Amino acid sequence: MADVDPASTPGFKGGDKKALREVKKHRNELFELHERLYAERKRSLLVILQGMDTSGKDGTVTHVVRNFNPQGVLITPFKAPTLEERRRGFLWRMRRRLPDPGFIGVFNRSHYEDVLIARVHDLAPPQVIARRYRQINQFEKELVRAGTKVVKLCLHISFAEQGRRLMDRLKDPNKRWKFNEHDIDERAFWDDYMSAYSLAITRCSTAVAPWYVIPANDKVYRNWAVTMILVETLREMNPKYPQPRLDVPRLMKRLKA
């Protein structure tokens, strides 16, 4: 994380207008690629969004994921686990929300919270957290083997940018519902969180389930970068429309009768 400038815009040259045009240009392609995935019903895509509070996870869902067919998208915002969920193990609730074949699943926060906040606030012994990295890698490897493509996006903002966004929420009456005073408390642990993120990304970015660290101070760039990653991912998956065995001439004749 330390070597990624949250204010940078790697891979893109131009202003907001150009970025918005490019995102708009790819909307139909994203929808069509998802339609093919949905029709094929053989594979699925799981998008994992992580980032500090105000990093833009909700905004990414609003501005990027809306380009998909909503009937084939499963969005899950994970909050603090319930008592039952804690008893069953940290991956149990993730397995319950995995996308079916043809679907795109979006995790707004995920199993990575159990090696992030758990590490920062000592919610589990070090040996338990160390074991979780291995469990996560195995879990994601199993998903890929079963036909689920896993894309993990870390939305990276700066400490100062988070402060500005929290202040904006306080100033705007229409955004105050998003404000949680606990977010101010958590700012005291910023460096610890950055270390926890760096370690999680280092240990759990694999060939089959890579991490992408996206500079997210610029919201327009963030949406552009996420869009490009999803376009390239679905192009690489290259889902196909199924070709059912139909006697087309006979069926056309029946319709005309």
Closest by Cα among 146, 142, 143, 155 to 201: 155
Residue 34 has pLDDT above 90, yes or no: yes
Per CATH, the number for 16-256 is 3.40.50.300
Confidence tier at 65 by pLDDT (50, 70, 90)? confident
- The CA distance from 71 to 238, in Å, is 20
Residue 59 has pLDDT above 90, yes or no: yes
Q: What is the pLDDT of residues 133-191, one digit of tens each?
A: 999 999 999 999 999 999 999 999 999 999 999 999 999 999 999 999 999 999 999 99
Residues 69-76 have a mean pLDDT of 94
- The CA distance from 81 to 58, in Å, is 19
- The CA distance from 236 to 233, in Å, is 5
- Sign of the Cα torsion 21, 25, 26, 31 reads positive
> Are 115 and 200 spatial neighbours (Cβ–Cβ below 8 Å)?
yes
Cβ neighbours of 68 (radius 10 Å): 24
| pLDDT value, residue 99 | 98
> Are 203 and 135 spatial neighbours (Cβ–Cβ below 8 Å)?
no
Confidence tier at 214 by pLDDT (50, 70, 90)? very high
| pLDDT value, residue 64 | 85
Q: What is the pLDDT of residues 94-130, one digit of tens each?
A: 999 999 999 999 999 999 999 999 999 999 999 999 9
| pLDDT value, residue 244 | 85
| pLDDT value, residue 135 | 98
Phi, psi for 158 (deg, rounded to 5): -90, 165
| pLDDT value, residue 66 | 84
Residue 257 has pLDDT above 90, yes or no: no
Q: Is the entire prediction scored with pTM above 0.75?
A: yes
| pLDDT value, residue 239 | 97
